[in-house]
Amino acid sequence: MTIADYKQRLGDHGKDTKLNLSNLFGNVDTSGLTADQFYGTALSLVYSLNDNELIAAVEAEAEGKVEANVFSAAKLAATLMAMNNIYYRFVHLSSDKQFAKMPAGLRMNGMANPGVDKTDFELFSLAVSALNGCGMCIDSHVGVLVKHGVSAQAIQTSIRLAAVLNAAKTARALS
C-alpha cells in the first residue's frame, strides 16, 4: 500500500486531506527537509498514530529513500515521546509546581544515541510532541532545532505532516 492507495480509501469527507497528502508527499524536495528528516518524521508520526494501513503506506513511500536506521529512529522517537509527552504534559499542566522540581526518573538512554543525526531526531520528536499535545516538549524541541539552525519552514513542515497524517487517520476511520 502507498499513500496513493491510502488516499483512495478516504471518503468524500477526506477530500482536503487527500489534497494535503498529495501536496506533502508529492513535494518532498521542496519541503525544507532532507529525505531522512521528511520520512523519519512521517514514520514517527504514523507509528504514534498506530494505524496499520497508514504505517504500511508511509513505510512503502520511505522504502528505498532512507536507510533502515531512519525506520528504527522513528520507532524510538514514537516510543520515547509516548512516555515523555504524558509525563511532561502533566508537569506543565499541574497547578502543583512541586512536580517540576522532582527528577522524572524515566530512562531515556535512546535519546543519547538515536541512530540518526540528533537534529533529525529532535525534528521527529517535535512532530510527535505536537501530535500528543505536549507544550513543554514542543518548546524544548523547537529551541534545540532553532539553536541548530533548522529553518522555520522545516519546522512548519514537520507540524504540517503531523496535522495531515492525523487527519488522514481520522478520515479513514470515518470512511
Q: What predicted TM-score, i.e. pTM, was given to this entire model?
A: 0.96
Active site residue 137: yes
Chunked mean pLDDT (size 10), the chain, 175 residues: 95 96 92 96 98 98 98 98 97 96 95 96 98 96 98 97 98 94
User: What 3-state DSSP class applies to 97?
Assistant: helix
Question: Which residue in 57, 76, 137, 168 is the catalytic one?
Answer: 137
Question: Which residue in 57, 66, 134, 162 is the catalytic one?
Answer: 134
* Cα distances (Å, whole numbers) of residue 77 to 30, 40, 62, 104: 24, 9, 17, 18
Residue 10 to residue 119: CA distance in whole angstroms: 34
User: What pLDDT shows up at residue 121?
Assistant: 98
User: What pLDDT shows up at residue 29?
Assistant: 86
Residue 62 to residue 71: CA distance in whole angstroms: 9
Under 8 Å CB-to-CB from 99, ≥6 apart: which residues? Answer: 90, 91
Where do the structural domains in the chain lie, given as residue ranges? Answer: 3-174
Grid cell listed for 98: 512541586
Is 87:106 a contact under the CB 8 Å cutoff? Answer: yes
User: What pLDDT shows up at residue 135?
Assistant: 95
Query: 138-163 burial, b if ≥16 CB within 10 A, otherwise e?
Result: bebbbebbeeeebeeebbebbbbbbb
Radius of gyration of the chain (CA): 16
User: What pLDDT shows up at residue 34?
Assistant: 96
CATH among 1.20.1290.10, 3.40.50.720, 1.10.3720.10, 3.40.640.10 for 3-174:
1.20.1290.10
